[in-house]
Amino acid sequence: MNLINRALIFFVLISLFSCSANPPKLQKEDVSLHPSCQPKNTKKAELDEDKYVRIGGVQQWVTIKGKNCSNPVVLMAHGGPGNPLSPYHDSLFQNFEENFTIVHWDQRGSGKTYAAQFETGEITLEKITNNNLSVDLLVSDGLEVSDYIRKRLGHKKIIISGSSWGSFLATKMAHSAPNKYHFYVGLSQIVNGRKLYTESYIKVKSIAIEKNDQATLNILNSIGPPFWSQPASFGKLRRIIKRYEDESVSQLADWKMANEYLSEQTKRAYIFGEEFSFLKFIGLDGDGMVHNIALDKCCTQFKIPIYIIQGQKDLLTVPKVTREYFKKIKAPEKEYIALEHSAHDQTIEMLRAYIDTLNAGVSRFIEKAILPAPKTSN
């Protein structure tokens, strides 16, 4: 979506969303063990919970899906930023539920959390500039979500995972609080904000030259190599990446939004949240969160096992950068899983590798029994 189209959607929806009903303000609640996880519960009860939880002073949307409370728990940090996975759970991850309890969290400024965070849907420049959305804040939120899940489900540790932008947050979380997690699984790993776009630009331009794609070369030459101060330049590169990846990848996953997320109010919140988070990520003048991404500088020593799943055709988080970072990592165990037929977004091949990797990690690093719940406060 180009900047003009983004702006049109942005302002056209302002009047619609500002007239919609405000989401209710929920009071802070004590965290209790889920009924299905009670020690006296001998039945194999399913977990299906969607609710707001107060995290970092903000009502944040958390979903829990699974077949058995004794199964290992996976917290999936979504990408974007601003692209929650919760609406797509049924189409992408439902088959994970037999062996895992899957937790999705709409990050601050995203999806249903965005709808609860702002009492009206009206978006203004003042809202964008005066509301904090930072790496440190999101990592802090993620750690608090982890504590909530551990106490809610009665697990001393959980599995932490993330894709794209979420892989950066999840890596930071695993690095700062390894005592909360069994192991880490990253997909389409983001390593360094500057390298991300520099190497992507170089790779995409080389493909355009090879294809003799003059129209694409004209666009790339007009924006020049990164780093850019205008959000539109990032969008132009991302659209080219999407087109080239779609041409090279088969068996794309079926990203189908669940019915409960199809109301007009919810869809508006997701659109606004994506716009808000995108501008906070890129910045209005080259001052966004992307400049604070540098895992290769801060986070190479880990106390838990590390798995990284990487599509070989990924033109955004290019394998060259991911490989270089992986080689620097020191961890009890680590594994790099290269997928020949996958790019950046999740494919059927990537989802299969994901569940296989989770199963491998469980068999190697997790005891079957439920561990005592930690003493944490929500």
Instruction: Say whether 341 sits in a helix, a strand or coil.
Output: coil
pLDDT at residue 5, rounded to an integer: 45
- Residue 183 burial class via C-beta count within 10 angstroms: exposed 0-12, middle 13-18, buried 19 and up: buried
- Position 250 scores a pLDDT of 82
Q: What is the largest CA-CA distance in the chain?
A: 68
What is the residue type of 71?
Answer: N
- Higher-confidence position of 371 and 197: 197
pLDDT tens, 253-292?
Answer: 999 999 999 999 888 889 999 989 999 999 887 789 999 9
Q: What percent of the chain has pLDDT over 90?
A: 74
Residue 370, pLDDT above cutoff 80: no
Residue 325 CA to residue 311 CA, distance in Å, equals 15
Token digits of residue 268: 């508006």
Is 80 exceeded by the pLDDT of residue 123?
no
Domain coordinates in residue numbering, the chain? 12-192+254-365
Query: Among 3.40.50.1820, 3.30.1490.20, 2.70.150.10, 3.30.1540.20, what is the CATH number of 12-192+254-365?
Result: 3.40.50.1820
pLDDT at 43: 66
pLDDT for the residue numbered 122 = 66
Task: Count other Cβ atoms within 10 Å, centred on residue 252.
Answer: 16
pLDDT score, position 121: 63
- Whole-structure pTM value: 0.88
- pLDDT, one tens digit per residue, over 197-231 is 999 999 999 999 999 999 999 999 999 999 888 88
Cα(238)–Cα(101) distance, integer angstroms: 33
